[in-house]
Amino acid sequence: MRAGWLAAMALGVGLAACLGDSTGSGQWSDPTKITYYAGLHVDLGRMSKTASGVFYFDSIRGSGTYQAQPGDNLTVHYTLWLPDGTLVDNNSGGALSLTLNNSNVIQGWVDGLTGTVQGTTRQLVIPPALAYGDAGSGTRIPPNATLVFLVTVDRITPASSGDIAPVSAIAHALVASGAAGRFR
């Protein structure tokens, strides 16, 4: 019986070493000391780093010219993983609209998405201090966990523009109403 218990403990310790610290209390708190699940394609060496410590890499550079700033309204699609590859959240059911500020999103998003242009897909590696810190979030994000996001910026509405409709929406409305033909 004792030999079986020891074997089970050794297996558990071995799995924990392979997967990292699932509690987030140790190994996951420093992004530079984590062994990331290979399927996440996290390579801190090729990533840029903000002054606050968010690592980012644009896998697709958008074609927009306006760069997102704090206070702007963004429409995004995202997926969130823990460093071991555990899928935590995504908004595959539809786009998420948000204001890029501390009262609406974690500081890591404000820092990591500032400067993006419309159409960009950006990978973010966010340290715990810029995410959910010591508290974690619910049952899916443990305390002191580094987070890995893949965010696609679908639309940016500058804070100063208010609720101005994008040109494509205006053009669509004109065509649908038949008014577009009157401008020839």
Helical ranges in 20-145 per DSSP H? 107-113
Question: In this predicted structure, what is the pLDDT of residue 34?
Answer: 94
Question: In this predicted structure, what is the pLDDT of residue 92?
Answer: 81
Tokens for 58, please give them. Answer: 């644009």
Residue 49 phi, psi dihedral angles, 5° rounding? -135, 130
Give a yes or no: residue 31 inside a domain.
yes
Confidence of residue 104 (pLDDT cuts 50, 70, 90): confident
Confidence of residue 66 (pLDDT cuts 50, 70, 90): very high
Confidence of residue 35 (pLDDT cuts 50, 70, 90): very high
CB burial string 81-110: b at 16+ within 10 A, e below: bbbbebebeeeeeeeeebbbeeeebbbbbb
Question: In this predicted structure, what is the pLDDT of residue 3?
Answer: 46
Mean of all residue pLDDT scores within the chain: 81
Give a yes or no: residue 139 inside a domain.
yes
Give a yes or no: residue 177 inside a domain.
no
Confidence of residue 103 (pLDDT cuts 50, 70, 90): confident
Give a yes or no: residue 108 inside a domain.
yes
Give a yes or no: residue 170 inside a domain.
no
Query: Of 176, 6, 134, 155, which Cα lies nearest the Cα of 66?
Result: 155
Give a yes or no: residue 63 inside a domain.
yes
Q: Which of 16-20, 80-84, 105-109 shows the lowest mean pLDDT across its residues?
A: 16-20
In the three-class reduction of DSSP (H, G, I as helix; E, B as strand; rest coil), residue 53 is classed as coil
Residue 9 phi, psi dihedral angles, 5° rounding? -65, -45
DSSP state for residue 49 in the 8-state scheme: E
User: What is the tally of structural domains in the chain?
Assistant: 1
Q: Cα angle vertex 148, ends 145, 151, to 5°? A: 140
Which structural domain range is residue 153 located in? Answer: 2-158
Confidence of residue 26 (pLDDT cuts 50, 70, 90): low
Give a yes or no: residue 71 inside a domain.
yes
Give a yes or no: residue 171 inside a domain.
no
What is the CATH number for 47? 3.10.50.40
